[in-house]
Amino acid sequence: MKRIGILTSGGDAPGMNAAIRAVVRSAIYNGMEVYGIKRGYAGLINGDFVKMDLGSVGDIIHRGGTILRTARSEEFKTPEGMEKALKNIEALGLEGLVVIGGDGSFRGAIELSKRGVATIGIPGTIDNDIPFTDYSIGFDTAVNTVVEAVNKIRDTATSHERTFIIEVMGRESGNIALYSGVACGAETILVPEIPFTINDVCNKIMSGYRRGKLHSVIILAEGAGHGFDVGREIKNITGFETRVIVLGHLQRGGTPTAFDRILASQMGGKAVELLKSGMSNKMVGWVKGELLVTDLEQILTAHKVFNIELFELANILSI
C-alpha cells in the first residue's frame, strides 16, 4: 500500500489532531503518501483533498478540534454520492482510508470497504458510546472540561446556597454525566439509561437540607431531560432557588488531555499498521489497557453497556 487518505467525520472531539498526526507520520515512516480529506465524506464527494507531509501535522498535537474540518454529509448516503466519492478515490489512487469519528462515520467506512476500499476506523466521540473500546478519543477531555466548570460553579452555589443543574452533552449516552458527576462529587446524576422521578431528586435535595446542606449540584445528561424544565419542577416542589447552566459545545473544545493525546497517537499508529498488513473494515479500540481490533460491522450491531456499578457507587457516595 503506497497511498492512503484520512478524514474526520461527525462531531469533533479533542484529540482528533493527535490521531491525524500519528496517522500521517506513521504512514510516511512506512513509505506511504497521505492525503487529508477536508470536511469528512463531503470532501470525498467534492474532491477536497490535500497532500500531507511531516510539517503539515507539526504543532497540532495539543490543539482541539480537527485541522481537516468535519461535516455530516447526507449526499454520501445516496447511490449518486457514493459513486462520486468512489470516482475521486480512484482518480487520486487511494488504496486505503482511515476514518476518525463515531458510529455514523463507521457506517460510511463499511460501505466503502464493501466496494473495495480498505478502511480502518478510529473512535473519536466525546460521548464514549462506541462498543468494543473502553474509551473513545475526546471523552477524557470532555469529562475534565465539565469537572473544571463544576468546580467553579460550586463556589457560587455554596456562597448563595442554591441548587445548580449542569446540563451536559449526551442525547443517548450518559457517560459524560456519570464520569464527571463522580469526579466532581455531584449530589445527583441524571442519565437517559436510568429512569428517575422528580420527586426522587427533590427528596434527595431535602434530605441534604435537613442535615444542614445548603446547596446541591445536579449533573443532567441532555438525553435525560431539559435542564430548565427540571429546574422549574425542583423549585416548585422544594421552594429552593435553582439555577441551570447548559455547558453545550464548550465540552467539545479545548486542549486535549495527556490521556487523549496518547490514546489518539496509539490508535493512529495502529491504524496505519493494519492498512499496511492488508486489513480492512476494522476499528482500533482500547480495552483493559491494550489496543483491540474489531470488525466494523460488530460495532454497529452491539451496544455499549452502561457502567451501572459506577452509577450505584455515585449514589452511595452522595448520601
Q: What are the sequence ranges of the domains in the chain?
A: 3-137+256-301, 139-252
Number of CB atoms found within 10 A of residue 54's CB: 11
Q: Which residues are annotated as a binding site for ADP?
A: 21-25, 154, 185-187, 211, 213-215
**Closest residue by Cα to residue 111 from 291, 259, 280, 293:** 280
Tell me how many degrees the CA angle 142-242-313 measures, rounded to the nearest 5. 50
Indicate the SS3 state at residue 30.
Answer: coil
pTM (predicted TM-score): 0.96
Q: Out of 75-84, 130-139, 155-164, 276-285, which region has the weakest mean confidence (pLDDT)?
A: 155-164
Is there a catalytic annotation at residue 200? Answer: no
Q: Which fold, 139-252? A: Rossmann fold (3.40.50)
Q: What is the pLDDT of residue 212?
A: 87
Q: Which residues are annotated as a binding site for substrate?
A: 125-127, 162, 169-171, 222, 243, 249-252
Q: Which fold, 3-137+256-301? A: Rossmann fold (3.40.50)
**How many residues are there in the chain?**
319
**What integer is the mean pLDDT of 80-93?**
97
Mark 67-96 as b/e (b = at least 16 C-beta within 10 Å).
Answer: bbbbebbeebeeeebbebbbebbeebebbb
**What integer is the mean pLDDT of 15-22?**
98
The C-alpha cell at 316 is 452511595
Residue type, 28: I
Average pLDDT of the chain, as a whole number: 96
C-alpha–C-alpha distance, residues 86 and 165, integer Å: 47
Residue pLDDT, tens place only, 214-230: 889 999 999 999 999 99
**What integer is the mean pLDDT of 33-48?**
97
Catalytic-labelled residue, pool 12, 127, 129, 140: 127
Q: What is the pLDDT of residue 161?
A: 83
Q: What is the pLDDT of residue 215?
A: 86
Query: 171 pLDDT exceeds 90?
Result: yes
**What integer is the mean pLDDT of 276-287?**
98
Percent of the chain with pLDDT over 70: 100
Angstrom CA distances, 45 to 81, 83, 86, 108, 223, stand at 6, 8, 8, 12, 33
Equal CATH topology for 3-137+256-301 and 139-252:
yes
